[in-house]
């Protein structure tokens, strides 16, 4: 018998433009997650969230799954999948319903959330996440859990995250061709928030910027609730392409140089040094010097962070946060692989007039050192989402309706 049938296993799968990551965790009896399997491989067959070569992508997924299975010594049957592309949208909606009984029940909450999500969304989109922000009963607002309370009318404020259903369908199809079932699709920004942000940060008002290869995922939490999400279709790869163009380099050499020698803001102590810049094979690049490299990198990172600033300003304008007496964003948190460039905080401090920090996954105790890095914020968050999802599912399974639910699931799969 393999480990996957003996123990409570959860698996995260992140398919990015630059890399595919698989992370396997075991949920211990105490409720914590023990990392037992990991793999990372370059991505082929996908660009900006769209599949352009299905066969290549399937091969990459199979390789990644196999390597993680070998490390964990177990068989993977299902995964929690992250998704991010420029066809992700979000909207804040309101549902209102009368309170029929003397006290609010779970049924009342389901009803009011159903009303809130029954709105028009973008064509070819479907809902990925329905996230309650707060409930209001009559004139009392800011209620997180209204069960058991009394009143005449209840209002639910919810945050909806939607995505292009064809992009979603194509990625799920690729994974299913590898013999893997997708338990749930999770928006990348939401997954990263779970692994990086603390409750204190969410309550004080925080903007999380997950800087990846092709996209930046921006998530804003206000008064403890997710209030806004955006996907900006530019990120670290834009910087790499600029370096490749400026110095006539291959993309892989430009990426290597960016990581090893790159600074987001010029360092005077480095300017005085005559440092040779070498490519990944150890050959000197004659036309590339520290100062000229920084002159390429700094404007691009400044531009990327200004795109985020514009997104925040748009949020204030759209939802009139001042009028609604919401606290302003008091923290900017940077994470993701492209946040690791040197002196990024100095660059960001020129743009944002608030506290800024760079964070790696912090909400999983005893995380292995090899994944305790900003670029693994999303994949670690997938395991946390999976743990919460399975805990919720077990509670549902204990209800008297479980047999009916199980029968409907079997019927669904037989009819597919």
User: What tens digit of pLDDT does each residue of 263-284 get?
Assistant: 999 887 776 567 788 888 888 8
Q: Based on the domain organization, do 351 and 254 belong to the same domain?
A: yes
Q: Is residue 200 part of a domain?
A: no
Region 397-413: mean pLDDT is 49
Region 193-210: mean pLDDT is 94
Interval 202-261: pLDDT, tens? 999 999 999 999 999 999 999 889 999 999 999 999 999 999 999 999 999 999 999 999
**Nearest CA-CA partner of 186 in 84, 58, 99:** 84
Q: Based on the domain organization, do 155 and 256 belong to the same domain?
A: no
Last residue of a domain, which of 163, 196, 228?
163
**Nearest CA-CA partner of 110 in 152, 147, 165, 137:** 147
Residue with more model confidence, 269 or 352: 352
Residue 303 has pLDDT above 80, yes or no: yes
Token readout for 170 is 């194509």
**Nearest CA-CA partner of 360 in 333, 332, 331, 335:** 335
What DSSP string runs through 110-166?
HHHHHHHH-S---TTEEEEEEEEEEEEETTEEEES--TT---SEEEEEEEEEEEEHH
Q: Is residue 101 part of a domain?
A: yes
Q: Based on the domain organization, do 336 and 241 belong to the same domain?
A: yes
Region 103-109: mean pLDDT is 91
Taking each helix axis as running N to C, give the angle between helix 251-261 and helix 290-319, from 0 to 180 degrees, rounded to the nearest 10.
90
CATH code, domain carrying 256 = 3.30.420.40
Q: Is residue 372 part of a domain?
A: no
Q: Is residue 395 part of a domain?
A: no
Q: Is residue 5 part of a domain?
A: no
Residue with more model confidence, 343 or 403: 343
Strands 33-42 vs 125-137: parallel, antiparallel or unpaired: unpaired
CA 344 to centroid of chain Cα atoms: 20
What pLDDT was estimated at residue 408?
54
What pLDDT was estimated at residue 170?
92
- Looking at the structure of the chain, the number of domains it has is 2
Region 96-115: mean pLDDT is 91
Q: Is residue 271 part of a domain?
A: yes
Check if the beta carbon of residue 39 is closer than 8 Å to that of residue 22: yes
Q: Is residue 97 part of a domain?
A: yes
Residue 4 has pLDDT above 80, yes or no: no
Q: Based on the domain organization, do 241 and 350 belong to the same domain?
A: yes
CATH code, domain carrying 93 = 3.30.1490.110
Confidence band of 321 (pLDDT split at 50, 70, 90) = low
Confidence band of 100 (pLDDT split at 50, 70, 90) = confident
What pLDDT was estimated at residue 30?
84
**Nearest CA-CA partner of 59 in 173, 167, 174, 166:** 174
Cα distance between residue 3 and residue 149, in whole Å: 45
The proportion of the chain whose per-residue pLDDT surpasses 70, expressed as a percent, equals 88
Last residue of a domain, which of 340, 357, 374?
357
Mean of pLDDT over the chain: 88
Token readout for 364 is 């999983």
Q: Which residues contact 6 (CB under 8 A, 6 or more apart)?
A: none
Check if the beta carbon of residue 147 is closer than 8 Å to that of residue 104: yes
Q: What is the CA radius of gyration of the chain?
A: 23
Last residue of a domain, which of 357, 392, 410?
357
Q: What range does the domain containing 268 cover?
A: 236-357
Check if the beta carbon of residue 208 is closer than 8 Å to that of residue 189: yes
Cα distance between residue 49 and residue 137, in whole Å: 41
Angular region, 171: left φ>0, alpha ψ -120 to 50, beta rest: alpha
């Amino acid at each position: 018998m393999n480990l996957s049938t003996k123990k409570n296993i959860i698996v995260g799968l992140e398919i990015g433009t630059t890399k595919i990551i698989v992370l396997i965790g075991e949920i211990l009896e105490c409720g914590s997650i023990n990392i037992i399997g990991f793999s990372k491989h370059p991505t082929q067959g996908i660009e900006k969230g769209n599949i352009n070569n299905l066969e290549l992508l399937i091969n990459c997924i199979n390789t990644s799954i196999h390597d993680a299975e070998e490390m964990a010594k177990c068989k993977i049957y299902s995964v929690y999948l992250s998704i991010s592309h420029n066809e992700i949208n979000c909207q804040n909606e309101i549902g209102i319903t009368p309170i029929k009984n003397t006290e609010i029940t779970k049924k009342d909450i389901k009803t009011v959330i159903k009303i809130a999500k029954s709105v028009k969304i973008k064509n070819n989109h479907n809902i990925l996440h329905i996230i309650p922000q707060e409930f209001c009963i009559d004139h009392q607002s800011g209620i997180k859990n209204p069960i058991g309370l009394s009143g005449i009318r209840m209002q639910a404020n919810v945050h909806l995250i939607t995505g292009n259903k064809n992009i979603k369908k194509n990625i799920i199809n690729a994974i299913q061709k590898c013999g893997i079932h997708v338990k749930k699709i999770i928006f990348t920004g939401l997954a990263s928030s779970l692994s990086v942000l603390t409750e204190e940060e969410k309550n004080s008002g925080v903007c999380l910027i997950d800087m990846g290869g092709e996209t930046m995922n921006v998530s804003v939490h206000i008064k403890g609730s997710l209030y806004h999400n955006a996907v900006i279709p530019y990120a670290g790869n834009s910087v790499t392409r600029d370096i490749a163009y400026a110095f006539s380099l291959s993309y892989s050499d430009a990426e290597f140089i960016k990581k090893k020698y790159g600074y987001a803001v010029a360092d005077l102590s480095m300017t005085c040094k005559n440092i040779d810049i070498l490519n990944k094979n150890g050959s000197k690049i004659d036309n590339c010097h520290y100062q000229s490299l920084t002159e390429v990198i700094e404007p691009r990172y400044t531009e990327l962070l200004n795109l985020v600033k514009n997104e925040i300003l748009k949020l204030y304008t759209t939802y009139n946060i001042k009028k609604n007496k919401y606290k302003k964003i008091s923290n900017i948190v940077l994470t993701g692989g492209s946040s690791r460039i040197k002196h990024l905080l100095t660059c960001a401090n020129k743009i944002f007039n608030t506290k800024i920090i760079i964070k790696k996954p912090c909400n999983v105790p005893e995380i292995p050192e090899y994944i305790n890095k900003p670029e693994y914020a999303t994949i670690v968050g997938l395991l946390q989402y999976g743990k919460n999802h399975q805990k919720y599912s077990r509670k549902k399974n204990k209800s008297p309706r479980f047999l009916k639910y199980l029968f409907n699931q079997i019927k669904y799969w037989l009819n597919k």
